Amino acid sequence: MHDAVRSTNNMGEGVVIGVLDDGIDAGHPSFGDEGMTPPPARWRGRCKHAGVAACNNKLVGAREFTRHLRHPAGPARTRGAGTHGTHASSIAAGALVRRADADGGAAVSGVAPRAHLAFYQVCAARGCSRGPVMHAVETALADGVDILSMSLGDDDGVGFHEDPVVAATFSAVMKGVFVCAAAGNKGPTAGSVANDAPWILTVGASSQSSPQSITNVAAFSSRGPSRNNGGVLKPDIVGPGVDILAAVPRSRRGSGFASLSGTSMSAPHLSGVAALIKSAHPTWSPAAIKSAMITTADTSVTDENGSPASYFAMGAGLVNAAKAIDPGLVYDISPEEYIPYLCGLGYTDDQVNRIIYPAPVVHCAEMESTEAKDLNTPSVMVALTADRPAVTVRRTVTNVGAARSVYRVDVSAPEGVSITVTPTELQFDEFRLGSVCSSMDAPNPMRLAAPLSLHVTVFLLASLLVSTAVAHHDLGLHKNYLIIVHTPYEYDRNLFKDVSSWHASLLASVCDMAEEELDKDPSAMTRLIYSYRHVINGFAARLTDEELRDMATKDWFVKAMPEKTYKLMTTHTPQMLGLTGQDFHAGLWKRSNMGEGIIIGVLDDGIRPGHPSFDATGMKPPPAKWKGRCDFNSSVCNNKLIGARSFYESAKWKWKGIDDPVLPISEGSHGTHTSSTAAGAFVPGANVMGNGLGTASGMAPRAHIALYQVCFEDKGCDRDDILAALDDAVEEGVDVLSLSLGDDEAGDFAYDPIALGGYTAIMKGVFVSAAAGNMGPDPATVANEAPWLLTVAAATTDRRFVASVKLGNGVELDGESLFQPKNFPSVQRPLVRDLSDGTCSDEKVLTPQHVGGKIVVCDAGGNFTTLEMGAALREAGAAGMIVINIEELGSVIQPKAHALPASQVPYRTGQKIRAYMNSTKNPTGELIFKGTVLGIRDSPVVAAFSSRGPSKQNQGILKPDITGPGVNIIAGVPKPAGLMMPPNPLAAKFDILSGTSMATPHLSGIAAVIKKAHPTWTPAAIKSALITTADTMDHLRKPIAAHDGYPANLLTVGAGFVNPMKALRPGLVYNLTAADYIPYLCGLRYSDHEINSIIHPLPPVSCAKMPAVAQKDLNYPSITAFLDQEPYVVNVSRVVTNVGRAKSVYIAKVEVPGELSVTVMPDTLRFKKMNQAKRFTVTIRPVGAPRKKGIAEGQLKWVSPNNVVHTPILVAFKKFVQDNSSSAHLTH
């Protein structure tokens, strides 16, 4: 529990825990206030003891209520020796103290180490009397505590009306204060539980748990049932209470720490967990916090004899702090709801009013009483007897999880008991109430004379995607097809239990083969490959040509698409992007907790789970909403890599070499690299052959990773497998999807799996980042161009692995190389050229006589790779090599680990070397290795391979959207590829790869940290924040350049190079909901069938019944306009939402070339509150006669004292020409 609790956001910051106990050592290190903020402004408590200086921002209050209990020897001060109180207080909220045990090896902290403590001394040597306890509770409520922790109680079992402490705690709950109390130490005797009022969390004690041990309820922990309210389960829960190491008063010989046992130790554990939940959910009621802990408790608990613990021993089970933060549903109770329950217990009006004072006086005769079984507690307890063999229990649950969610009931009934629940499914569209009604009856009631405790569990509905394929040899009779069926897609629920069975029936209607045919082709029995529920209305199946023709005649058939293959498109970049600030504990990471709790789903080719980048040290468990799984050995998954699944049911029929099963544990270099780039853990000493040495990490190092294997080495990524993975990822609970794959021939959005799955994802609040492709620098090659996707281009970083060439004339020119020999002699050597075709690929020319002891200049682009060139030259005795890049790659170098000293230089640099060699009879040169150089000023530069716009599918939307680091990125791999020099076998496995595949996970990780910082933002808001804050200038304050050295236009760089720090606080955002894209799709002239295929599972729409939205008017954070026809005026409408300072003023500033006139109305936006939206119109016209072709570009800036919101403007004077001749490939 401690690891999960320590990683909980804010660690209880701002919450005040009031502890009622016997004294406290106020000067103990556990109560130091380093890093603590002051108590909240509402705090009214004080320090009332001799040493006022002992109070601080940790111990914010200390009062004494024990004067009549003082020992005759003298007064008892709150700062006096109180072993019990010091111990309990430090468990709840003690500060971190290192070297706490006798051996100096343990670090100790409270469960909520940033919560404040207020101590109330109510016990002395003679015990704790009711008067001081009542007075202390009353004072604590006036002081402003949030939690009351009471490791004390009375186990005599008196009625609630006779126990003034019970009445005092009811007052606390009325004021919204959570009350946690010890169950008592009278176990294992039945009916010994104390503090059993239903508004109190009653805590039993268990042994401390670990992955290697079993949790036991302590023998001393008091047992239920409750003597005062037999219809409410007590204790509620158990927490660690055996041999708990925590603070005790300091002595000369002692360490100030000791191990104690008792429910007195378990109660403050739960008080600390309550503080964490209260800090995360400040509006939750005490009952909601209590419900969150009870409904998420772990039930794998045994009693003192090693048998499964009963509910009367463990309550709901062992507290699970990480799950309790996000319970999904809670059983809420207002204080007023306890009044009819008290009436139902048979208390008189006087007794009830005594308990609920100072609430208004009530009369039980004037209200309908509530039976204990119907009190809306998070447990159910009933007695079934011969006279009452059936009982109906009513509950109401409140949705505190995902706004749109579905819950299905699963009941584990005891033997001999039948339990039915109505309704069996709860569907939530918002944060509101739903209800559950349960009825229980016993077929043999005489066996159940004793009270029966039942624990009802409610869980999220799992994905209904079904894969029924079994591995069989395919005789070649069938082909894979994606089948789209008509909407609406409602099916007869009396005949079909779910979507997959309905799809199977449709398939069966055309695959009714004779038995002898099945014997010839067993694969015909496994025709249904995937049944899609979320991303598309259809299924994937294996069909013969005849069956396909038959299917096309069915009234439910829309379209069949044949199989299609898609292709796969760090130690420094976190610092370069400003994530870390001056160190790893500052910058954006500090403000977003490094993406903690966010789940990034990566679709790729596999992963190496044991890689240090996926180490889970310090990671908390995934949020409770996570429903994914590991398809390989579960021990390989952890709190970093929380899911890994392989989708190959379609691919295995296409590529016969793929065996069943194909597991995500397959060593996918691409997937390991992209996953560790997005969310890899900190790995010190990461490097590639000594280059880039530093601490590697992903962009969101505390985010979780879920890997979906959809691609296979040397083959590609099957479309239907991609759809299935997206279908499951959305259902399983990812927050961000990272897709370093695509196809620039994907075509219409209605038939592109990434567009389809991406739309379903954003409809459920999932952000999608996808690679722009690696087919640059040709125009109109951009992939993944749907406007709901963030389309990412690739550029260089400010890091180089410098290998300079110093010519004989003294000129020094920079190149790069990963092989950086330490002791290469700095001497001038003869420079020679390959005398054949210049590519150093003719072994007849590469002889020792020609190249021995010399530096050979080679042209890239021949039959040999640069690595093969180096190997051949080394064999021939060359001293070194200079490789001149091809002209198309421009200034961007992708260095290699060559077999001999070498330098790769850009084409223009190579021309200077050639000119020097032609100018002298005996040219010489030397190679100077400078290692890793940071802070390169002329960066970033957009890579030549990065695909360019315009978009083919929606020319009115600027694509790519943005550029990220994608050249020479160091990240984790199973093993470095292509090394011509032997790597260090002890070094962690890292390699340098390039591509938009590498840029995409950078943006995915940055989106995760923004999502963490702003959990309510939509995917469109996060996307807008990234686009409107991107940098348009390089480190020299010049426009970002393309590979050829010229300024990169908007179709190359998008809005610019990502700036994460600015994106965290963009000021204004252009927001869009999933529904906003529907009229835009109508404007693209998609048919109703196609649009309904895209927006599935939303209800079907008809474009004839809604006004279409032109591409230019989609509320996108960039503007594209065409001035290609009269009257040569374009009006563009946009709406911005204020996410910055509540009261703020933004003034429009337009930067465009002189040939354009751009006006903005209104030109000033005044906001009075957060989330306020303002509309404006941009009018674009030419100055004079417009030119006939080409583009012009500029930007609109909304400027305030704190923010500048950039909106790129692209103006085309002629419609773009579509070019569908390109196909995507992976660039490494």
Indicate which residues carry an active-site annotation.
21, 84, 264, 604, 670, 997
Distance CA 760, CA 727 (A): 8
Distance CA 710, CA 716 (A): 8
Decide: 963 and 1054 in contact? Cβ < 8 Å.
yes
Distance CA 1133, CA 779 (A): 28
Decide: 541 and 529 in contact? Cβ < 8 Å.
yes
Tell me the three state secondary structure of residue 1184. coil
Tokens 């910051």, located at residue: 13
Decide: 442 and 389 in contact? Cβ < 8 Å.
yes
Residue 31: C-alpha distances to residues 2, 76, 85, 94, 241 (Å) = 19, 20, 12, 6, 21
Extract the tokens encoding 1043.
Answer: 């590979």
Distance CA 90, CA 100 (A): 12
Sheet holding 538-543, edge to edge: 528-532, 538-543, 479-485, 557-562
Query: Residue 707: CB partners within 8 Å, gap ≥ 6?
Result: 602, 604, 606, 607, 641, 643, 644, 645, 664, 671, 675
In sequence order, the β-bridge partners of residue 969 are 993
Tokens 């529904």, located at residue: 1075
Query: Residue 366: CB partners within 8 Å, gap ≥ 6?
Result: none
Task: Give 503-510's long-range contacts (Cβ < 8 A, gap of 24+).
Answer: 503/528, 503/531, 503/538, 503/539, 504/468, 504/528, 504/531, 506/539, 506/554, 506/556, 507/539, 507/541, 509/554, 510/543, 510/547, 510/550, 510/551, 510/554
Distance CA 791, CA 730 (A): 19
Q: What 8-state DSSP symbol labels residue 239? A: E
DSSP H helical segments within 437-568, as ranges? 499-508, 515-520, 545-551
Q: Which of 1154, 1155, 1153, 1156 is nearest to 1132 (CA)?
A: 1156
First vs last Cα of the chain: how many Å apart?
43
Q: What 8-state DSSP symbol labels residue 234? A: S
Distance CA 326, CA 1204 (A): 36
Tokens 């699963």, located at residue: 410
Hey, CA dihedral for 333, 334, 335, 341, is it positive or negative? negative
Q: What 8-state DSSP symbol labels residue 1067? A: S
Residue 490 CB neighbours (<10 A): 7
Query: Residue 456: CB partners within 8 Å, gap ≥ 6?
Result: 379, 380, 395, 409, 411, 421, 436, 438
In the 3-class helix/strand/coil scheme, how is 61-78 assigned residue by residue? EEEECCHHHCCCCCCCCC
Residue 1189 CB neighbours (<10 A): 10
User: Phi and psi of 626, rounded to 5°?
Assistant: -65, 125
Tell me the three state secondary structure of residue 970. strand
Distance CA 939, CA 1212 (A): 28
Decide: 195 and 184 in contact? Cβ < 8 Å.
yes
Distance CA 1141, CA 1145 (A): 9
Distance CA 272, CA 252 (A): 30
